[in-house]
Amino acid sequence: MVRIRIIGDPILRMKAKPVRIFDSSLRNLIRAMIDVMLQNDGVGLAAPQVGVGIRLFVFDDRSGAEPRAIVNPEMVEHSEDRVIGEEGCLSIPNVYAEVERYRWVRLKYRNEWGEEKEEVFEDYVARIVQHEFDHLDGVLFIDRLTEEERRILKPVLLEISKQHRGVRSWNKI
Ligand SMILES: [Zn+2]
């Protein structure tokens, strides 16, 4: 069973490493991540959020299609224009804010079988994949807010991280 890491956990700030082996343990992790994402009513979840520092995320575009995995993504192109929309994050419970993102992005990636893919993601899905892509570089959506917004949020974030600290140290034993 995988557990969602909460802000304050250092793994959320680390740069994740590329996946080299596409085996059944990778696919088991993907399945476990999709389960925990759906249980928590999320639309995206990156491997560092469950304590695994590899370049992998899963997402559910809410179109009725099966949730999917994106491995080793590279952003090869993006729109000129950006759009603003609300985001939250399973690692930062109950915090939502408006974030600016590219309207579309083109990603090169591998699927769970290691097959190379290239795909354009637009609008809502583009927002999800940009948010998850950021997680692989240790970037959280709150980093993309204005200085003023971050100043206001700071005590809230400290409180969330303090509340979860006990859980984290217990888990390390
Ligand atoms: Zn997130």
Q: Are 87 and 94 in contact (CB under 8 A)?
A: no
Q: State CA 147 to chain mean position distance.
A: 22
Ligand 1 centroid distance, CA of 153 (Å): 16
Query: Which residues neighbour ligand 1 (ion) by CB within 5 Å?
Result: 89
Topology of domain 10-172, CATH = Peptide Deformylase (3.90.45)
pLDDT at 171: 46
Ligand 1 centroid distance, CA of 171 (Å): 21
Ligand 1 centroid distance, CA of 24 (Å): 25
Concerning whether 132 is annotated as a catalytic residue, the answer is yes
Q: Helix or strand or coil: residue 146?
A: coil
Residues 18-37: what's their mean pLDDT?
97
Neighbour-count burial of 149, counting CB atoms closer than 10 A to its CB (0-12 exposed, 13-18 middle, 19+ buried): middle
Find the distance separating the first CA and the last CA of the chain, reported in whole Å: 17
For residues 74 and 9, what is the distance between their CA atoms, to the nearest angstrom? 25
Q: Is the pLDDT of residue 55 over 70?
A: yes
Ligand 1 centroid distance, CA of 70 (Å): 15
The one catalytic residue among 132, 147, 149, 159: 132
Q: Is the pLDDT of residue 157 over 80?
A: yes
Q: Which pLDDT tens digit goes with each residue over 94-121?
A: 999 999 999 999 999 999 999 999 999 9
Q: pLDDT over 90 for what percent of the chain?
A: 89
Q: Helix or strand or coil: residue 124?
A: helix
